[in-house]
Structure 1
Amino acid sequence: MLSTKSFPVIEATLPIIAERISSITPNFYNRLFAAHPELLNGIFSRSNQKNGTQQQALAGSIAVFATYLVKHPGVTPETMLARVAHKHTSLGVIEEQYPIVYKHLFDAIAEDLGDALTPEIAEAWTEVYWLMAHALIKIEKGLYAQQANAEIYTPWKLVERTETGVDSVSFSFEPADDTPATVAKPGQFISVRMPMADGVRQVRQYTLSGDIEQANRRTITVKLDVNGEFSPVIHNDLKLGDVLELSNPYGDLVIDEEGAPLVIATAGIGCTPSAAALQTLAARGSNRKVTVLHADQEVGAWPLREQMLDSIAKLPQATLGTWFERGELPEELNAKAGYMDLTDALAEDAEVYLCGPLPFMHAVRSQALEAGIPAERIHYEVFGPDVWLAA
């Protein structure tokens, strides 16, 4: 918790720091990479730096953490910290990197605020930084300790490649060495690291879309972004037998086989955690009440459609609803035209899981809140940096 000395300082300066932090973070990253260019080789995404999402995610996490300390003295935002920690551990972030971040972040803050950054304010915000850093370090050490090995990345060989939907491909990997592999949970993700054309390694995180409880198999489904840096390489250059570096599985968006009625609402390639969860629920013979909702451009564009339909058919209390922007509306899919509408799908005690483009999740989350579902029972997954933390 914040010290009694720092609390009033943070409370008084939070509005200006929250307002300026989105301008400070680009300067921070420029400083960080100038001093440590090696961090762009295998840890940070160049694409996320260019499009600004990494800066947004950092700014959001700092603002949310400080706001929480002021509004809820004595506790920390555990959900936010857990999400950040799972992202960090999938990338191999270690304790020794936090002082490096601190130096360049506070140099950027000092440059932005100038003489307005008094020693008292600097000391208070330093306290906020290290409260957040130490909380993350503790969680991250625990996550690393839960794995079946102490490696950040291990080699995995591509053994199967399957087209699914439009411009989506499922890739299945098996271990390329004898390193013990961790059994994943439905809804978790892995980091995939490989060199780009210039030799610099880049990393992307992908939700495991199938074969969840097989420790010696990892399956991900990747949507092609023709303007992206990473997906064109994995789509066009990766061949059977090729070996990539994969991280251990991480992620706190895990769906259990028992519990309250479950509503899973997805759009596009956001169906990957849903597909994995449904496959796992079906394999375990779950009797949980599950409502599966999916929106896509058209029926043929729906990735993993056959896998999901097969799983739903094996779940005695599962129902399906779909929405398509164009094309045919198959009756067997309970299909409707246009955009997803949760009006008739939400029970009062439902647990709601969302995954898809941010505009989709904003719209569907608003519908769930308006229907009376408490915010703590609405869960979500964001691919890449979590720019939705402030929500």
Structure 2
Amino acid sequence: MLSSAHEPVIRATAPVVAAHLDEISSEFYDSLLGENPQLWNVFSRSAQAGGEQKRALAGAVAGFALSLIGAGPPMDTMFERVANRHASLGIQPEQYTVVGRYLMRAVGKVLGDAVTPEVAAAWDEVYWLMACKFIGMEARLYATQGVEPTSSFRDYEVSERHEEAFETVSFVLTPVDGAAAPHFRPGQYVTLAVDLPDGGRQLRQYSLSQAPGGQSLRITVRRVRGTDGKPDGLVSGHLIEHLHVGSKLPVSPPFGNLTPQPGQDPLLLISAGVGITPMASILGHLAESQPERQVVAVHAERSAERHPLRVEMLQHGSRIQGFQQQVWYETGASEGVPNADVRMGRVLTSEIPLPDNAEAYLCGPIPFMRGVRAGLLERGVAADRIRYEVFGSDHWQETD
């Protein structure tokens, strides 16, 4: 809870901070990474180059400040999602001290004399309330997995490689030490530590694309092609070109909260592109554990040749009594289904079968998910029954 002395300061200054988020974010990342180049191993080079990562932290702090003074929506869902992501990266408590120092420096540099000692103290309290919440949640996640953040990665070997669709490949990963692969919940992901040819290391999360219970883990990777001047995905291209049977790399324990809630309520699984990967895990799990549960799977793709895991989804669905599937392709109608513009997120939500009391799970490009979520809300689905996973920087807080 924000102290009573600082609450009026935050109320007065929150609009000013919000109006300068882009400048604060750019100054923060430029100074942090410029003076601490080793942190490039934690932050995505591609997301930094594209600009989408820069706004995430400052936006989260500003949003949290608004929620503290009752001027913004609750952020519990965002905290849960980001804490899982941090745990998958092995973030350590002391790193919050470094981030806080550079963030407050950026606020002072951008806003200048407006940042009095009183204002600085108020925003420092906001940051540390948020940081301590994350630290506590992440400590519990590490404890659940039985790992420490400094030693959470294990070495895995690629035991199988399968071409799934155009520029999309599945990799089966087996622990090098011969021990069993960790248990995971359907819809979770792992982080890969990828050593690049230039000597740098990058961390990337990939959803586990099979049901829990096997001796190995499987991820499905699509090559990311840059658009609108953004670069191609650095890690996805490297994995597809250079990761083969016998290749080894460190992998984190599974984390993530896009997991089905217990019960018998119908499930609506909506994905676009490679966002189908957690849905394949969820559907495979349901086929094994709850074949009587009603499930509607909806997938949007640019074309049939780009559609990964489709046969597998149909095989899972054939074992579920109340299964329905809809597929939309962007480039021309196929098999009698309507077109969908995946890139713009225009989805005909009015045509999605919507069972009573359905819980919706979304994964795909952010514009796509925004469009789907808006349509589901219009059709009466409660916001707390719509869950989603974001690939990359989590800058969708305004829709929580």
* Residue 356 (str. 1) matches residue 364 (str. 2): yes
In the alignment, the residues of structure 2 paired with residue 293 and residue 218 of structure 1 have an alpha-carbon distance, to the nearest angstrom, of 24
- How many residues are paired up? 385
Residue in structure 1 matched with residue 107 of structure 2 by the alignment: 109
What secondary structure does 2:280 align onto? helix
Residue in structure 2 matched with residue 342 of structure 1 by the alignment: 349
What secondary structure does 2:15 align onto? helix
Cα deviation, residue 153, structure 1: 1.1
Within-5 A mapping of 1:49-64: 49-64=48-63
Cα deviation, residue 4, structure 1: 0.6
Residue in structure 2 matched with residue 260 of structure 1 by the alignment: 265
The farther-off stretch of 147-156 and 316-325 is 147-156
In the alignment, the residues of structure 2 paired with residue 25 and residue 12 of structure 1 have an alpha-carbon distance, to the nearest angstrom, of 20
- Deviation per residue, 1:62-108 (Å, 9 max, x gap): 121111111179x9632111111111111111101111111111111
In the alignment, the residues of structure 2 paired with residue 317 and residue 62 of structure 1 have an alpha-carbon distance, to the nearest angstrom, of 43
For 2:80, give the aligned amino acid.
Answer: A
Within-5 A mapping of 1:10-21: 10-21=10-21
Contact conserved, 1:148 with 1:180, CA < 8 A, in 2? no
For 2:377, give the aligned amino acid.
Answer: L
Residue in structure 2 matched with residue 379 of structure 1 by the alignment: 387
- Deviation per residue, 1:321-347 (Å, 9 max, x gap): 11112356226xxx3334532224223
1:275 paired residue among 280, 287, 290? 280
What secondary structure does 2:326 align onto? strand
Contact conserved, 1:149 with 1:181, CA < 8 A, in 2? no
In the alignment, the residues of structure 2 paired with residue 304 and residue 68 of structure 1 have an alpha-carbon distance, to the nearest angstrom, of 40
In the alignment, the residues of structure 1 paired with residue 10 and residue 181 of structure 2 have an alpha-carbon distance, to the nearest angstrom, of 44
Contact conserved, 1:90 with 1:249, CA < 8 A, in 2? yes
Ranges in structure 1 where 5+ consecutive residues have no aligned partner: none
For 1:85, give the aligned amino acid.
Answer: A
In the alignment, the residues of structure 1 paired with residue 138 and residue 179 of structure 2 have an alpha-carbon distance, to the nearest angstrom, of 21
* Residue 71 (str. 1) matches residue 75 (str. 2): no
Cα deviation, residue 300, structure 1: 2.5
In the alignment, the residues of structure 1 paired with residue 158 and residue 52 of structure 2 have an alpha-carbon distance, to the nearest angstrom, of 30
- Deviation per residue, 1:136-172 (Å, 9 max, x gap): 0000000000004443211000001111121111101
Residue in structure 1 matched with residue 9 of structure 2 by the alignment: 9
In the alignment, the residues of structure 1 paired with residue 358 and residue 289 of structure 2 have an alpha-carbon distance, to the nearest angstrom, of 21
Contact conserved, 2:155 with 2:250, CA < 8 A, in 1? yes
Cα deviation, residue 305, structure 1: 0.6
For 1:350, give the aligned amino acid.
Answer: A
In the alignment, the residues of structure 1 paired with residue 332 and residue 107 of structure 2 have an alpha-carbon distance, to the nearest angstrom, of 52
Cα deviation, residue 354, structure 1: 1.1
Sort the Cα spacing of 1:372 and 1:328 in 2 relative to 1 into closer, same or farther, 3 A: closer
Within-5 A mapping of 1:90-169: 90-150=88-148, 151-169=151-169
Within-5 A mapping of 1:190-269: 190-214=190-214, 216-226=215-225, 227-256=232-261, 258-269=263-274
Cα deviation, residue 40, structure 1: 1.1
What secondary structure does 2:94 align onto? helix
What secondary structure does 1:225 align onto? coil
In the alignment, the residues of structure 2 paired with residue 125 and residue 144 of structure 1 have an alpha-carbon distance, to the nearest angstrom, of 28
For 1:274, give the aligned amino acid.
Answer: M
Residue in structure 1 matched with residue 44 of structure 2 by the alignment: 45
What secondary structure does 2:327 align onto? strand
Sort the Cα spacing of 1:310 and 1:199 in 2 relative to 1 into closer, same or farther, 3 A: same
In the alignment, the residues of structure 1 paired with residue 395 and residue 380 of structure 2 have an alpha-carbon distance, to the nearest angstrom, of 25
- Deviation per residue, 1:286-325 (Å, 9 max, x gap): 3211111111122222111111110011101111111112
In the alignment, the residues of structure 2 paired with residue 77 and residue 364 of structure 1 have an alpha-carbon distance, to the nearest angstrom, of 20
Residue in structure 1 matched with residue 324 of structure 2 by the alignment: 319
1:365 paired residue among 365, 373, 382? 373
Sort the Cα spacing of 1:104 and 1:338 in 2 relative to 1 into closer, same or farther, 3 A: closer
Contact conserved, 1:158 with 1:242, CA < 8 A, in 2? yes
What secondary structure does 1:390 align onto? helix
For 2:248, give the aligned amino acid.
Answer: V
Determine what percentage of the aligned residue pairs are the same residue: 39
Runs of 4+ in 1 over 6 A off after TM superposition: none
The farther-off stretch of 144-153 and 8-17 is 144-153
